[in-house]
Every structure is written in C-alpha cells, then in structure tokens.
A and B are shown apart, each in its own frame.
Chain A
C-alpha cells in the first residue's frame, strides 16, 4: 500500500504556528508580488474567497471579514516543509518517501502489515503535528490515484482515510466527481461529462480500448488502472535532477529602463546558476525572455519576447552566462516599452563530469569553479546574496512587492518569535 501525506492549507498553517492569536480567524496568503491568493484556510474558504483569485477582487470580502492577509514568506515555508519531510523520512524510512511538492509526499508503506496501516497513519499524523505544528491529512490506498482520492475524504474522517476494501473504494469513487480525480484537468472533465462519465466510478468502468483512444493513450490507460487499484505510477527517485532551470519573477512595478531590465536578468542568472551548481550540472543553452505591455490602457495585451544562445562550451560559471546573456537583453529591449516580467531558462543540462570539449575553447577552469564554490558557500551561510555581481544591481528597485510579510522565525536571529 501507499499513502499520501498532505499538509492542510500549508502556507496558512505555517503562519499560524507562530501566531496562536489567529486561531479561528480566516487567513489568506498572497503570491509573489501580492498578486493572487495562493493559500486559504478552511475559515477563508467558507467565506467564499477563491483560490488563485486576484487579491484586489477579494479585497472587500477580506476587509469586511477581518481576514488575516500575508505575503508569501518562502524562507519560512521552505523551512517548515523540510521539517515535515524530515519527520516523514524518520517514520517511514529514508528510501520510502517521494516528496511530491512543498506540502505533499507519497510514502511507500509496503513494509507495514495491512492490519497496522491505520494505526501507523494515525501515528504519522500525530507526530508531524506535534513536532512541527503543521496539521496534515493522510490518504492510504493501493495506487497513487486512489491515495489522492482517499485524501479528499480524510478531512471528514479525523484526517486519516484508508481505502482498503472494495466497498470503501466503490463508495469513495461514486462520491467523487471526475474533475476531482488526480490527473483529470478541467477540459478533460467537460469532455468526460459530455460522454455521461460523471463520477470517478463511471471513469473506472470505461473500456480500456476507449480510454487508450480518448484519454491520451498510455497515460489514460494508466489512470484507469490506477482507479481500479492496480499501481501503475511508480514511486520516483527522491533526488530528481532537473532537465531545465527557470528563474523568472513579476516585477514589483513596471520597469522601463534597460539598466533595470539588465539588473533583473543578471540577478536571475546568478540564482539559476547557483541552482545549477547545486545539482552538479552544466548548461549548454541560455534563454532570456521578457514580458512587455503596451501603454494603451484600452487594450491589455502583454507580449512575450525571447532570445536564446547556445554556449560554445557547457558551463556553470555565472560570469560566462552573464557575458552571453546580457547582450540578449539589449537586443530584446525596445525603448518606450514597459516590462512586467523577465526570466531566464538554462537548458541542455548535463553532469559537470561529461562536458564535451571544444577544440578552440577550454571548459570551466578549476579556478573559476573554486571561486563559484566559495561564493555559493558564503551566500548560503550568510544569505541575502552577500556576494553578488555588480551587473545584478545594488538597489534592486524592481524587486517584488511584499507588503504583508511575516518574520522569518526559523532562519534569522533578528526575527525570532518573541515570548512573554
């Protein structure tokens, strides 16, 4: 059997751990730049505040109901997520966890005897909550799709739902609309409903040949089998090496000058190159993109422009990326345009040990690598990008807006929670 452990309204729960005065109050957390609502607790949900809705649209509802509003505090959420995952690793075993996202993990429970599954899950839930303060719910079943389905019912069942018998599975399938099945998107749900496939139970009973034809080939077939309790989606290797690294952000305000645009791109390159080195890879292609918007207030038509360059030798050295990518910004820039967003993508990633030599170019020298390593170490331990490239700017006026950010309780001495 497998399980999924899902943190309840994760970002809101993180804020609540350090603010007991929020008990019972509706909470929402906003996305980067305070644009959209990306997390809401049960109380906020019941007010009718929508997920992913723009903040300004919900503002009246928020103010009227005294909803607590937070900007996203990724330092805090990242730290709390690591704690939750560390507890899960300890309880289930280091090799039995697949961290699926910041707030959910699949566990391989094949080593737990069937009659102990419920007890074990209750213990997992209680321990995570006691140790980290983050409430979680657990769904247990034979396949990943059924785990996700079980998890939907766990909230009404003290946070743990075990789908171990055919009767329980059938009842759960019949109660779940197709759009809530893991892997069924909104568009597919509409298509299925037109075919009179309304519930997960209907979907489970479709003909395999039909599934292969209409649900996207093997993927669809796998989904049907998973619904029937046959595990087809394997547990992933927990340490996945990324094939592509993207760093992009919306600007806090529209940016008009080329200097600011260059600074933003340079700082994203620094961040992406750091991530690249962390997975011991080099990149062969760097792509720069900007999103621009015209000044015509009647017609909001953002436009994305991109340029990429293939590097002579794959590299992980920040200055080399800067040297090749900054000229792309100059080419993309059109005076008079306003920019909303910029980003960079590193691709064609390979392990740093398998670099193709170029007859005319040396690959990264040991010295350059050492400098990068020292820089990463200092930035990691002292934070706030103590060492940065001058091209990435000193003032950084274009940085994101975070008007309602809470303290970084778990990562800064200056911002610890105070007790009386």
Chain B
C-alpha cells in the first residue's frame, strides 16, 4: 500500500470534479514559433491519477475513513481509501471488513485458520474472528490512501 500526500486545499478546494479530456487545442503553444514549436513536439497528456490508482475499474470503489483505528499505518480520519474488490485478501493486507453489520478498516491477519482484524492505533485491541459469534466477510482490499497531511 502506498500513501499519496496531498494538501488539504488542493484536494478539497478543487471545484472541477470531473475527468478531463485532452485534445490538440489544449496545447497553448500550438501556433507559436521558435521555442514554443519545439516544446509542442514533446507535448503529451499530463499525469492521470486514475491510470495509477485504478487497476480494475469495475471493481474499484472509494470510501472515507471516519476513525483513527489505522493511524499508525498512516491512515487518518478524513482520508479517502481506494478499494479493489477483485484482489485476494492476503494476510497482512489492509482490508474493509463487514463485521456484524458494520464496515471497518483494519489489517487482516490469517494464521492457519485463525483470523484477526488488527487496528493500528494505541488504544484499540485486535478483534478475533470466531465463526460462531459473528457475521464476518471481507468487503475488499485497500490499495491506496489519499491522505491529508
């Protein structure tokens, strides 16, 4: 899992929320001569975050974290997490879990057949998953965090 650091203002203040398309007319220097013309030859589409952050579009969802349960893993309250439901939840991955009707973000641990949900905060304790006591399923695997520093 990787963390993208981003200023709060850049993230929240952007009022253009759609995806942009790029075409020839966006090259401001297209009609310029001299250096402009040379730069034009190297013009290409800018960095597209979707390309990096979304591997499997139909299986990718965004959610907002509303707790400090994963603070020590660099995921704080208010951050946005990107979830890929198509990935296999391997032990050690950060996951979104359905536990007794609640959606939790925790680190998944599976040792032999013993499953635990580990928080990464000082005051919280791990949750042991016992098939007899709780309704548990894995919603998806967290792939990226959009973190507000």
Are B102 and A20 closer than 8 Å at their CB atoms?
yes
Q: Kindly identify which residue among A21, A381, A410, A417 contacts B18, using a CB–CB cutoff of 8 Å.
A: A381
Are B16 and A420 closer than 8 Å at their CB atoms?
no
Are A417 and B104 closer than 8 Å at their CB atoms?
no
Are A420 and B58 closer than 8 Å at their CB atoms?
no
Q: Which of chain B's residues 73-101 have a Cβ closer than 8 Å to chain A?
A: 80-81, 85-86, 96, 98, 101
Cα separation A258 to B132 with both chains bound (whole Å): 64
Q: Which residues of B contact A133 (CB under 8 A)?
A: 85, 139
Q: Which residues of B contact A380 (CB under 8 A)?
A: 18
Q: Kindly identify which residue among A21, A377, A381, A419 contacts B104, using a CB–CB cutoff of 8 Å.
A: A419
Q: Which residues of B contact A377 (CB under 8 A)?
A: 21
Q: Which residues of B contact A20 (CB under 8 A)?
A: 98, 101-103, 137, 139
Nearest Cβ on chain A to B3's Cβ, whole angstroms: 17
Are A416 and B17 closer than 8 Å at their CB atoms?
no
Q: Which residues of A contact B105 (CB under 8 A)?
A: 419-420
Q: Kindly identify which residue among B21, B62, B69 contacts A420, using a CB–CB cutoff of 8 Å.
A: B69
Cα separation A383 to B17 with both chains bound (whole Å): 9
Are A417 and B85 closer than 8 Å at their CB atoms?
no
Are A23 and B135 closer than 8 Å at their CB atoms?
yes
Cα separation A90 to B19 with both chains bound (whole Å): 23
B66 within 8 A of A: yes
Q: Which residues of A contact B56 (CB under 8 A)?
A: 131
Are A83 and B64 closer than 8 Å at their CB atoms?
no
Cα separation A418 to B105 with both chains bound (whole Å): 10
Cα separation A420 to B76 with both chains bound (whole Å): 10
Q: Kindly identify which residue among A21, A383, A417 contacts B64, using a CB–CB cutoff of 8 Å.
A: A417
A130 within 8 A of B: yes
Q: Which residues of A contact B137 (CB under 8 A)?
A: 20
Q: Which residues of B contact A419 (CB under 8 A)?
A: 63-67, 81, 96, 103-105
Q: Which residues of A contact B15 (CB under 8 A)?
A: 382
Are B66 and A420 closer than 8 Å at their CB atoms?
yes
Q: Which of chain A's residues 393-420 have a Cβ closer than 8 Å to chain B?
A: 409-410, 413, 416-420
B59 within 8 A of A: yes
Are B66 and A418 closer than 8 Å at their CB atoms?
yes
A132 within 8 A of B: yes
Known: A133-B85, A382-B18. A417 touches B103 (CB 8 A): yes
Residue of B nearest to A87 (CB): B58
Are B102 and A132 closer than 8 Å at their CB atoms?
no
Nearest Cβ on chain A to B107's Cβ, whole angstroms: 13
Cα separation A22 to B139 with both chains bound (whole Å): 15
Residue of A nearest to B69 (CB): A420
Residue of B nearest to A18 (CB): B103
Are A132 and B64 closer than 8 Å at their CB atoms?
no
Known: A381-B16, A381-B20. A416 touches B62 (CB 8 A): yes
Q: Which residues of B contact A23 (CB under 8 A)?
A: 101, 135
B57 within 8 A of A: yes
Q: Which of chain A's residues 273-310 have a Cβ closer than 8 Å to chain B?
A: none
Nearest Cβ on chain B to A416's Cβ, whole angstroms: 4
Nearest Cβ on chain B to A85's Cβ, whole angstroms: 8
A86 within 8 A of B: yes
Are A131 and B67 closer than 8 Å at their CB atoms?
no
Cα separation A130 to B65 with both chains bound (whole Å): 22
Nearest Cβ on chain B to A77's Cβ, whole angstroms: 15
Interface string of A74-98 (1 = CB under 8 A from B): 0000000011101100100000000
Nearest Cβ on chain B to A409's Cβ, whole angstroms: 8
Q: Which of chain B's residues 98-123 have a Cβ closer than 8 Å to chain A?
A: 98, 101-105
Cα separation A20 to B86 with both chains bound (whole Å): 18
Q: Kindly identify which residue among B17, B67, B86, B139 contacts A382, using a CB–CB cutoff of 8 Å.
A: B17
Are A420 and B85 closer than 8 Å at their CB atoms?
no
Residue of B nearest to A409 (CB): B61
Are A83 and B58 closer than 8 Å at their CB atoms?
yes
Q: Kindly identify which residue among A82, A131, A410, A420 contacts B103, using a CB–CB cutoff of 8 Å.
A: A420
Cα separation A82 to B57 with both chains bound (whole Å): 10
Cα separation A161 to B7 with both chains bound (whole Å): 53
Q: Which residues of A contact B64 (CB under 8 A)?
A: 416-419
Residue of A nearest to B85 (CB): A131
Known: A21-B101, A131-B59, A418-B103. 19 other contacts (CB 8 A): A20-B139, A21-B102, A23-B135, A83-B59, A86-B58, A87-B59, A131-B85, A132-B59, A383-B17, A410-B61, A416-B80, A417-B61, A419-B63, A419-B65, A419-B81, A419-B103, A419-B104, A420-B66, A420-B105
Chain B residues close to A by CB (< 8 Å): 15-21, 56-59, 61-67, 69, 80-81, 85-86, 96, 98, 101-105, 135, 137, 139
Top 5 closest A-B pairs, CB basis?
Answer: A381-B18, A21-B101, A131-B59, A83-B58, A86-B58
Q: Can you spell out 6 A-B residue pairs with CB atoms less than 8 angstroms apart?
A: A23-B135, A82-B58, A133-B139, A382-B15, A419-B105, A420-B67
